[in-house]
Structure 1
Amino acid sequence: MTTNMASCPVAFRVAQAVGLSGAAWLSGNIAAYSLNVAPSLLTSAKESNLPPSTLAKLWRNIYHLGSVQNPPIALTTAAAFFYLAWSVRSGTALFRQTAENAATLYCAAAVLTLSIVPFTLIAMTKTNRALLEQAKMVESEPTVVKVGAREETEQLICRWIGLNGARSLFPLAGVLVGLYAALW
């Protein structure tokens, strides 16, 4: 059942826009780090023969930007989806205008969007910590650099690219579930 948008409160329509666009933006932003930023970082490091600690420091700065930027977006997006779920719960005026499972779907969209946090903590912490340790290495003469450090750093970044790419799928699933709730 499609919601008649003309009869929906403005706050409901704004929450739909915030939830759907926020989850889509978040997914794209996270994916861009894996599809564009980190691979370009690896290519540039190889072309310029950067020391592994410099490569790790560049990654650290990029990681920091995402770690500061994305959680508030995820929280705002999830709050919008939770508001939508609350608005269409059983017993409300909007409940009669929406699909019976809309509240469940909006809750699922919120949880999927927020799932970037536990995924980061559970699946990515080991890789993130290892890269942050690489970034702390003291720059020394190129001949004194730990044997295998470059390969290790590059492998860690490649692993991070895959994990981060997988993480981007959570808000993407959130927007798809939220869109389904909004349209059916």
Structure 2
Amino acid sequence: MNKFPTGIRVAQAVGLTGAGWLAGNIAGYSLFSVPALITSYHEHNAPLPLIVKQWRDMYSIGKAQNPPIAVITAAAFAYLAWSVRESTTPLAVLAPRNATALYSAAAALTVAIVPWTLAAMAGTNRQLLDRAGAKGWVPTEEGAEETEDLLYKWTFLNAVRGVFPLVGAVVGYLAF
């Protein structure tokens, strides 16, 4: 790995750690945070309107921090793909033959959290955000079940979302 110039090694570090961090951050919401909220609802009688407001607050934090990290990480992978492109740069001889394709795939996988969120999660997000923003919302029994189902659905969709940067990190590592 020390055969590359410092700039390439920095980009590799940014790409790999960014993708790994992003995967872990996203997975944490699905593995720990939302399940803890649901547990608070069932075992500690936390009111469901409070639970969805807490979910909204976590969602807002993730929405603010994750896309920029995904873009920076994808940019690092894209820079690496450009830097080691075959037959056009001196670095091409140092990199594995398919490094350009692997780094390009890593970039695409990492930033894929954005279209996944917009395409697969938008409806669920909107429904939960509507409940969280409704002043004085008190769910009926049916509404409570539906809201809990939405939280479970969001947890699954978000877990899938976390796989994209994880696979991006693995693919980026294979390009070393």
TM-score by length of 2: 0.95
Name the structure 1 match of 2:168. Answer: 174
Matched residue SS, 1:12: helix
Letter in 2 for 1:159: K
Q: Is 1:151 the counterpart of 2:148 in the alignment? A: no
Contact conserved, 2:49 with 2:132, CA < 8 A, in 1? yes
Large movers: runs of 4+ above 4 Å: none
Identity %: 53
State how far apart, in whole Å, the 1-side matches of 2:2 and 2:46 are: 58
What is the correspondence of 1:10-159 to structure 2 with a 5 Å cutoff? 10-90=6-86, 91-139=88-136, 145-159=139-153
Q: Structure 1, residues 108-167: CA drift from partner, whole Å, max 9, x if none? A: 000000000000000000100000111122326xxx643412111111000000000000
**Which of 1 and 2 has greater Rg?**
1
Unaligned runs of 5+ in 1: none
State how far apart, in whole Å, the 1-side matches of 2:105 and 2:85 are: 14
Contact conserved, 2:74 with 2:108, CA < 8 A, in 1? yes
Matched residue SS, 1:148: helix
Letter in 1 for 2:111: L
1:45 Cα offset (Å): 1.8
Q: Structure 1, residues 36-60: CA drift from partner, whole Å, max 9, x if none? A: 0000011012233233322211110
Letter in 2 for 1:7: K
The equivalent position to 1:162 in structure 2, one of 149, 152, 156, is 156
TM-score by length of 1: 0.91
Unaligned runs of 5+ in 2: none
Q: Structure 1, residues 15-39: CA drift from partner, whole Å, max 9, x if none? A: 0000001100100000000000000
State how far apart, in whole Å, the 2-side matches of 1:36 and 1:6 are: 38
State how far apart, in whole Å, the 2-side matches of 1:18 and 1:134 are: 38
Q: How many residue pairs were aligned?
A: 175
1:97 Cα offset (Å): 1.2
1:7 Cα offset (Å): 3.4
